[in-house]
Amino acid sequence: MYKKSIVIGICLLFVLASCATFQDKWNGLQQNEKARVIVGGVQKELNDLFDIGKAYVDANPDKKEMWKGQVVPAFDTANKTIAAYIVFIGKGEATPEGAVNTLFPLLKSVVNLLASMGLDMQTIENIIGGVE
Amino acid sequence: MTPVEIIAAINAAITLSKNLYTLYAQVMGDQPIPTWDELVVQNAKLQAKIDAEKEG
């Protein structure tokens, strides 16, 4: 029991130290670098969601109409907005707050459509993690 | 859960782990933060897939 408490204590200290280090590193990044980390993360998640949505529709052909009519256009809008953000704002005065405020609602709208198409919400949540 | 759902859940968990690790590694300096030009390339790749889906 005593040994177990020591192991748990060491693990907790390690986790706390890792979090503090991560926070320090994050605080040390420039605004533009933070924005690029966020935009890159959102872009990757959008890409993964598209692949999973496509795989889901391939396995469920009855969902194809909604996929083509609503979900793909939503991906199109989201991706083009990211492109516009990169070109017009990203290369200028990009901030992490601006990236979050601009891009997260797009991700949310795509997620909502995927969920309404019938894709398992737990699967989507596992992909997007704590983004919402 | 059906076998397909289990595989999907495992894939999703792996994807989440990879995405979180990538963000963590970028912040910690273990992986380079993508440049805006690299992000444009990633964006164009997804756009190509979207366009193919719209046409197909």
Contacts with A87 from chain B: Cβ below 8 Å:
40
> For residue A21, is pLDDT > 80?
yes
User: Does residue A94 contact residue A35 with C-beta atoms inside 8 Å?
Assistant: yes
Q: Is B48 on the interface with A (CB under 8 A)?
A: no
* Mean pLDDT across B37-43: 95
Please answer yes or no on whether B11 and A52 come within 8 Å at the CB atom: yes
What pTM value is reported for the model?
Answer: 0.78
Contacts with A68 from chain B: Cβ below 8 Å:
53-54
Indicate the residue type of A1: M
pLDDT digits (tens, 9 = 90+) for B20-30: 788 888 888 88
> For residue A79, is pLDDT > 90?
yes
pLDDT-derived band at A131 (thresholds 50, 70, 90) equals very low
Q: ipTM exceeding 0.85?
A: no
Residue B40 to residue A43: CA distance in whole angstroms: 10
pLDDT-derived band at B35 (thresholds 50, 70, 90) equals very high
> For residue A129, is pLDDT > 60?
no
Contacts with B19 from chain A: Cβ below 8 Å:
41, 44-45, 48, 127, 129
> DSSP 3-state assignment of B2?
coil
pLDDT-derived band at A81 (thresholds 50, 70, 90) equals very high
Residue with structure tokens 């979090």?
A: A19
